[in-house]
Amino acid sequence: MICRLFDYFPVAKSLWNKFSYICVGYLNIQKLNFITYTKMGKTLELNDSNFEETIKGDKPVLVDFWAEWCGPCKMIGPVVEELAGDYEGKAVVAKLNVDENPEVAGKYGIRSIPTLLVFKGGEIVDKQVGAVPKSVLAQKLAAQVA
């Protein structure tokens, strides 16, 4: 597949050289196919053994409780990845697979997924159940970073 984005937006080529991107979809604008890209994040994969030490750090921690079979989890996954890139160095953005790590999911009463918990100093300070836009999650995380 040929990326036509560079043909129409020369600035995009220079941005490509500065950041890592992944293709997330197509936009059909004026009968031209443009490929859209998003910056790759750095989510931390949590499990039953490293969860407690991670949430007790000095930075706020956003944890996405998800499962492989969950449709809404797959929808919100790229958003969580973007947030990891946006808040790199300011907060920790992590994911925990509830099927592989039932101990933590049970301890925090995770009954519906996706569930996103925001921790600060080891305590839950915010909670979101269900898929929501990036702006909602960014607002919750920004409130704890400030």
Residues with catalytic annotation?
70, 73
Backbone angles phi, psi at 7, to 5 degrees: -65, -35
Q: Are 136 and 92 in contact (CB under 8 A)?
A: no
DSSP for 32-75, written as a single string? EEEEEEEE---PEEE-TTTHHHHHTSSS-EEEEEE-TT-HHHHH
